[in-house]
Chain A
Amino acid sequence: MVSPRTELLAISDLHVEFATDAGPVAVVRGVDLNIAAGETVALVGESGSGKSVTAMSVMRLTEGRVSAGRIEFRGRDLSRLPDAEMRRIRGGQIGMIFQEPMTSLNPVFTIGRQIEEVLVLHQQLSARAARAQALELLARVGIPSPERRIAQYPHELSGGMKQRVMLAMAVACRPQLLIADEPTTALDVTIQAQILELLRSLRREFGMAVLLITHDLGVVAHFAERVLVMYAGKIVEQGSVRDVFKRASHPYTQALLTALPDPLKPAKRLEAIPGRVPSPSMLPAGCAFCARCARAFEPCPSQQPPLFEVAPGHDTACFLHDPQFSAPTRR
């Protein structure tokens, strides 16, 4: 990690567990994540890898219990903030958008009212000022004829439009950090590109940092500066997008990249990763990817790999890169 930079968000050693009938199950197991002001970071992983839970813990909206770790936002420990203070941060300094724009808006209110509500709540605007600002925001997120749309109900808007409205609400108070939890997963590809383009231009305009959570590597390559790959509740690889995509060093990341369909070779069979993500209640003692890894060797089943630096700013949690095992396969 490059040290002399001002972190906007600093998550260190985050553990989140969920209570089940069979006792607590750890879903996030020691995640470190830093985001500098204005930076775009992608958190990538399969479903169930704990990426959404990590994001929700930042907002303190997870159903699970944060059992260890610190989440600092602008130097303040979020887990110790009183609720009222935390509410001011949510929607005020940290905005969030979700995977399902179809259901993320309240069906009984016009979209205008919902945007205005946020503005009135966080910025104490008058109703008139809030309306003007809402119109401006709708125009800014690219909704055509906002004067007409502002009085419409969510069911009258398409999915892409709704995601734009969600974005308008999330950035209404100029947050310093925007958490986008799979913002394009539910949208079709052309809309996806538009939303990402919008996200990018909003980020540039407002100078926001963005934490993008996705399982879509294409989106990451297109959008992020830095990427963290998560597997079974741990960060397995992190680095700049260029490093990770060009010189993926963890077998899991490599497998993910080869699993991407290549439109130029349509006849080629897609490479799937054999096996499946282990259930968080039955994790092996060692590396969680071990059972699916073609290159696993002696230490893997019994020891948990820490992060090894493969290049400045590029780390991977794999014993293949442990200098102690003079790894023959090291690239």
Chain B
Amino acid sequence: MSIPVGPTRTSQTLASPRVEAEALGGAETPVQQLWRTFRKDRLAMLGLYVLLSLVVVALLGNLLTGWWVVFDPTTVRLPDKLLPPLSVPSSAIAKELLPPFHRYPFGTDELGRNVFARMLQGSFVSLSVGVVAVSISLCIGVTVGGLAGFYGQRKLGPISVDSLLMRFTDVVLCFPTFFLILTVVALLPPSIYNIMIVIGITSWMSTARFVRAEFLALREQDFVTAAQALGLPEWRIIFRHLIPNALAPVLVSATINVAHAILTESALSYLGFGVRPPYATWGNILADGRSYIFDAPWLFLIPGVAILLVVLSFNLVGEGLRDAMNPKLRRRAD
């Protein structure tokens, strides 16, 4: 723990430097405390760095592919089709279409498009699908699960809130989700935002079940009664006291859901219902590459590895966060 040295004095003058430092440590916000612990988890930090650099890449990629013609992912260079990574463009390519540095870093696809440029463009879509869809599913899942867990015993007419919400969850769980998504996406105008929303509202069920199970156990805890006896309003007990306690398993499942969302988007793109073809996403690069699996393995390996990297990083960050949020592990760390 870094000790900020300064003229700051706590109320007691007898405070030894250590006590004073601890008191200042107590003055830090929970977020600072979280970060201090999180930082010590090397794997989680690695995951965070990978994710942050991917975000930078995605933002840069959006600029580059949009504004710089040599990075245009839609430029077709038929003479250069299916070139392996790092190959040099052939002499048949017009000068203004030459890729930067005279190399195709990730090779080219069956139309001679620069896979590097396509990956750049796709990173934005894939990352945002993952994050936005999971945020939506978390919001729905935590709300439904929390209500079912906390107000479960209340009756609405003949049935309890718990049965009502959880049977509804079961019904949604029974839908063949993928076909539901297909139907909805087919009816709605093709837009990446619709896809995010649809994936989000079809993937909250496992979160709801986790949260409900946690809440059922937590609401019986003495500290809930104690909080009620202190006059805390119910919403505050739910949101400020119970959700932080229930978050650990939810976070882990959320990181896995990110992977699911990215893959669902890939599958949709593969079937032609996702992002419209000229626009690249990791999913449709992967899908296109499948037909050339033996001739041009880089076409599926590159997006595949990218998806793996994102999923892995989200998992590491999720686990790091879970540990950092557990106060019992937190103190032991320092």
C-alpha gap A156/B326 in the complex (Å): 13
From 78 to 99 in chain A, residues with beta carbon under 8 angstroms from any chain B beta carbon are 84, 87-92, 95-96, 98
C-alpha gap A103/B223 in the complex (Å): 6
Contacting pair B229 A59 (CB below 8 A): yes
Chain B residues within 8 Å of chain A by Cβ, number: 35
A-B contact pairs, 6 of them (CB 8 A): A89-B231, A95-B230, A147-B15, A151-B25, A155-B327, A169-B226
In the complex, the 9 A-B pairs of residues with the closest C-beta atoms, listed nearest first: A151-B26, A91-B231, A91-B230, A90-B231, A147-B23, A153-B327, A96-B229, A103-B222, A104-B226
C-alpha gap A151/B223 in the complex (Å): 18
Instruction: Give the contact stretch, choosing among A3-11, A106-114, A202-210.
Output: A106-114
Chain B: minimal CB distance from A228 (Å): 21
The answer to whether residues A105 and B232 also contact, given A148-B22, A153-B331 and a CB cut-off of 8 A, is: no
CB nearest to B225 among chain A residues: A61
Known contacts A98-B225, A108-B244, A151-B26; can you find 19 more A-B pairs with CB under 8 A?
Answer: A90-B230, A91-B230, A98-B222, A103-B222, A103-B223, A104-B223, A105-B223, A107-B223, A107-B328, A108-B326, A110-B327, A121-B230, A147-B23, A148-B22, A151-B22, A152-B331, A156-B331, A169-B230, A170-B230
Most chain A CB atoms below 10 A, which of B227, B228, B230, B236: B230
Contacting pair A150 B225 (CB below 8 A): no
Contacting pair A122 B231 (CB below 8 A): yes
Contacting pair A147 B10 (CB below 8 A): yes
Interface assignment of B260: CB less than 8 Å from any CB of chain A: no
Interface assignment of B233: CB less than 8 Å from any CB of chain A: yes
Interface assignment of A100: CB less than 8 Å from any CB of chain B: yes
Q: Which of A91, A135, A152, A166 contacts B11 (CB 8 A)?
A: A135
Q: Which B residues are within 8 Å of any A CB, using their own CB? A: 10-12, 15, 19-20, 22-23, 25-27, 30, 221-223, 225-233, 236, 240-241, 244-245, 325-328, 330-331
C-alpha gap A109/B221 in the complex (Å): 15
Contacting pair B245 A107 (CB below 8 A): yes
Interface assignment of A32: CB less than 8 Å from any CB of chain B: no
C-alpha gap A142/B227 in the complex (Å): 22
Interface assignment of A317: CB less than 8 Å from any CB of chain B: no
Chain B: minimal CB distance from A163 (Å): 12
Interface assignment of A13: CB less than 8 Å from any CB of chain B: no
Interface assignment of A309: CB less than 8 Å from any CB of chain B: no
Contacting pair A147 B229 (CB below 8 A): no
CB nearest to A113 among chain B residues: B30
Contacting pair A61 B229 (CB below 8 A): yes
CB nearest to B230 among chain A residues: A91
Interface assignment of A216: CB less than 8 Å from any CB of chain B: no
Chain A residues within 8 Å of chain B by Cβ, number: 42
Inter-chain contacts of A243 with B (CB < 8 A): none
Interface assignment of A324: CB less than 8 Å from any CB of chain B: no
Inter-chain contacts of A220 with B (CB < 8 A): none
Inter-chain contacts of B10 with A (CB < 8 A): 147
Chain A: minimal CB distance from B38 (Å): 15
Interface assignment of A46: CB less than 8 Å from any CB of chain B: no
CB nearest to B26 among chain A residues: A151
C-alpha gap A152/B330 in the complex (Å): 11
Inter-chain contacts of A100 with B (CB < 8 A): 222
Most chain B CB atoms below 10 A, which of A61, A89, A107, A131: A107
Inter-chain contacts of B19 with A (CB < 8 A): 145, 147-148
Chain A: minimal CB distance from B282 (Å): 36
Interface assignment of A195: CB less than 8 Å from any CB of chain B: no
From 8 to 27 in chain A, residues with beta carbon under 8 angstroms from any chain B beta carbon are none
C-alpha gap A121/B327 in the complex (Å): 24
Q: Which of A87, A92, A98, A150 contacts B26 (CB 8 A)?
A: A150
Interface assignment of A300: CB less than 8 Å from any CB of chain B: no
C-alpha gap A150/B11 in the complex (Å): 13
